Structure 1
Amino acid sequence: MRLFSRWLGRLRGSLIYTFSGDHNQEVPAWQLELADGDDPGYFGPDSAVWAVHGGMSTIPAGIRALLIQALHPGALAGVAEHSDYRADPFARLAGTIRWIFTVTYGSRGQARQACEYVRRVHVPVQGTYTAADGTTRRYAANDPVLAEWVHLAFTDAFLTAYENFVGPVPAPPGTPRGCSGADAYVAEWAVAGELMGVVDPPRSRAALKRRMAEFDDDPDRQLTGGPRVEEVISFLREPPLEPNLKPGYRALFVAVVDSLPPRYRELTGLRGSGVPRVTRLGGKATLALIGRVLGRRGPAELAARRRLTRLGVLPAEQPDER
């Protein structure tokens, strides 16, 4: 038992470093600062966004989001030419996690500041790329079309991962009749899209699927594979993780690949395992172990709950549970 506890401790340290990028700081200061602020934020404890972003399914969701985002040659060019993801992947991951959790759990002011910061950082991310039809085109990270694809891929990834590894998204109180929890999540997270410059983001699951299909059907925005996509796939298949994280990551990666639509697997050059039910069970088991190590609620959510308690949105007796 003592040996097992020691192993869980090492695993926890590895996971914290992977998600925060810092071995020496277990809880980054920015997460604790989410307890500050004078408003409840865009989302609350009963929201679909808190449900989807509050569990371990966000880990495979991140893998899926990166795979799908890479299929737009303009979005991929921005990452390949203006990102240091190969040399310092965890710094980029930590930055993405900070944005997601700040928009999810922070006050409205904190969420807007986080999005404004990302958009400022994206200003110099410009260049050219080769489109699916072979023509050379210009891109800019803050272009509404590229911002839309990133938002669509993110929304699809987090929704699908939750459904695959957890179950149906719970419908928040007040959800209109005929709308599912999945519809509620897409509608709620549209706020994040608008804050990032997306024009009229989808507000239902059907609209999300339709908008993603339009990208592949439109010659001006068509998705594509190719050597650059293969390079990203190679990196995502074998990222520089600590040895004790690699088996679990491989299980999640295979399960994510199995969950991709056939068209996306074709573009990425990835093959399904042929046993998606088995790989999904393996992914669930991996996430269950990670959940045991990291706890049911993360520091960002706990900080948000402290803010909501201070503002009277939650009762004062609300416990700080891990």
Structure 2
Amino acid sequence: MPTDRKDESQDPKSFILAVPSKGRLEEKSAEIFSKAGLPLLRDGARGYQGEMAGNGSVKVEYVSAGDTAARLAEGSAHMGITGEDLLREEIADFDSAIHLVSPLGFGQADVVVAIPDGWVDVTTMNDLADVAAEFRARHGRRLRVATKYTHLTTDFFARHGADDCELVQSFGATEGAPSSGAAEAIVDITSTGATLAANNLRIPNDGIILKSEAQLAASLKANWSDKARAAAKFILTRLEAYQIAKKQIKVCLRSTPNMGAANMRPPEIEQLQSNYGAKLVDISTGATDQGSSYTFILPVNQQAAFMDDMIGNQLFAIGEVSKPDFLYFQRCEMLERLLGRLV
């Protein structure tokens, strides 16, 4: 007898991962998991079920972005990928229900307040609050703000004292509301601002409500059995190793016997870590006629300065740089943060 999805998620043998079912978000989700050594195997090009290679306890379900938020909110999925804007808008008890595991580097967009270009005296949210108060006094009604993001907008406007604004639910092209007369201002999501500009709208200086992107999020309401926690460890150790490696390089430096590097002491290494964020991961001291080698991991953007210092100042004779695909460390911070939220 088949079970419903709620019962399925409570099965200690199951770990439910909800991913986008179509479009760019689906493609980018599949790509990042594949690069992290966690390829997703979908049951057909349009199937709604799948699995994760290498771990039979992970069940992949392909759902819409909005459904992912709902699944995480109710605890019928352990983890899922969707935009942070949807999570914060649609989950009323966000702080107690959701843990943001990791931003994924795609799906970037901002939830913003947008006002007509003609409002030349309105540059901040305080200005907008003043205009709304004057509008209400003059017209006997509140200034209308069209949006799909009613919860985010309500909280943001309340923080800025814009109490004389009325939210109007938008079901279509929100950016067209001011020109059509349906509202005086809007709150919408934008990635480039081009659509706002095309509709003669602009963002106040402090009008960004949320800088959103695709997030790997975990439900704090799911059944986190030992098996589910083991699946989370399987996923997060690999994902973190991949994400760390994207931002780091490995540098192997070799010295000759007459170079100072052969006698490098801990204080000098600590200084390197302070200057360049370099982490010493290996020391090899050769025979007296061969010198020594030191292997460091450091941020990609520090490579040039680090090598100039090490080679240019003749501390080392040879420097080899490589780009690791994965960097594993004893502690997985993603996993530790998640486990710290689970009770």
TM range (shorter): under 0.3
Higher strand fraction (1 or 2)? 2
> TM-score, normalized by length of structure 1?
0.19
Larger relative contact order, structure 1 or 2 (CA cutoff 8 Å, min sep 6): 1
Structure possessing the higher radius of gyration over alpha carbons: 2
> TM-score, normalized by length of structure 2?
0.18
Higher helix fraction (1 or 2)? 1
